Structure 1
Amino acid sequence: MKRLLPHPALSAMLLVVWLLMVNNITVGGVVLGGIFALILPKFTQPFWPDRPRVRFGSALAGYLAIVGLDIILANFQVAWLILFRRNRDLHARWLIVPIDLATPEAITMLAGTISLTPGTVSSDVSADGRFLLVHALDVADDAAEVARIKARYEARLQRIFA
């Protein structure tokens, strides 16, 4: 099975993305998407020699739920900031977040999560991969915001990328 599906999650994602791009579920679309989902991971397998182990269970489902909720809430918070607060009242900050994640994939997922949440943007990762530079739109306490990012996202990602 490992020879047929070297990256099962990638194969599933490719099939789903293909069906979303086609925007129509037909037998031909599913077959062609299935062919892509089988062939592309096979060709890219040499470029993934040390792929990380990912837990696809309750840890990932909980992480996705937290991120989805945070994105929705942050949209309302940013809208409130823009509509009802003056620019001079905002406390925009650059935060340096120390990273305890070990794999580049986990660090990328953390940076992407931060950027997906309105009001924050991941700007850079240090050359050694130990620090993440984040810009936040309105921060009252720098240390509390860094602790929130580490507790809310990084700790969950450490459980997912075991």
Structure 2
Amino acid sequence: MRRILPHPILAGLLLLLWLVLQQSAGFGHILLGALIAVLASLAANAVLPEPVTLRRPLKLVQLFAIAGLDIVRSNFAVLTVLLSRRPNPTSGFIEMKLELTNRFGLAILACLLTATPGSAWLEYDGERSIVLIHVFDLKDEAEWVATIKKRYESLLLEIFE
């Protein structure tokens, strides 16, 4: 079965996405969506370096809920800075040591940090396990590091390692 469908979760999600986008669950749409999902799963097998293993998949829901709230909160914080009478953000860079080593976990963390307004993942040094992050309005570096470690990295460690 793994030979035909090497990434069943990916294929299932793609089929579900296809049906939602088509706004139909007719036999033809299910058949075409399943074909596309299987082909995409086979293509993903060629480029993914290692199999994705989720130790605690339900923690993904918690992670994305927390990240969603943080993104909304950060949008308001950046808007407040920009709409202030004399915007004077103190941007800066943070070098942060990570415990997370899983490639998929690192990719998700990079996406979350970059999707959050006011921060961007710039560079990762795999040998030293250090990430460079740019922050738009950096007031307290230690608070940023603690927030990222507590809110994101700890959940990603539970999910992937």
TM over 0.5: yes
C-alpha RMSD of the superposition: 2.1
Unaligned runs of 5+ in 1: none
Structure 1 length as normaliser, TM-score? Answer: 0.86
Alignment of 1:10-159 (within 5 A): 10-19=10-19, 22-27=21-26, 28-48=28-48, 50-55=50-55, 57-84=57-84, 86-88=86-88, 90-128=89-127, 130-159=129-158
Q: Kindly report structure 1 stretches of 4+ aligned residues shifted beyond 6 Å.
A: none
Q: Secondary structure at the match of 1:155?
A: helix
- 2:8 partner letter: P
Identity %: 32
Code of the aligned partner of 2:143: A
Aligned residues of 2:70 and 2:116 also touching (Cα < 8 A): yes
SS in 1 for 2:13: helix
Which SS does the other structure have where 2:63 is aligned? helix
Query: What is the deviation of 1:91?
Result: 1.5
Does structure 1 conserve the Cα–Cα contact (< 8 Å) formed by 2:11 and 2:37?
yes
* Structure 2: 5+ residue stretches without partners: none
Deviations 1:28-66 (A, max 9, x none): 333212111122213442443522311463311111110
Amino acid corresponding to residue 139 of structure 1 in structure 2:
L
Counterpart amino acid of residue 155 in structure 2? R
- Residues paired across the two proteins, number: 160
**17 and 127 in structure 1: CA distance in 2 versus 1, 3 angstrom threshold:** same
- Give, in whole Å, the separation in 1 of the partners of 2:45 and 2:137: 43
Provide the secondary structure at the position in 2 that maps to 1:87. Answer: coil
The answer (yes or no) to whether the contact 1:52–1:103 under 8 Å persists in 2 is no
CA contact under 8 A between 2:56 and 2:160: conserved in structure 1?
Answer: no
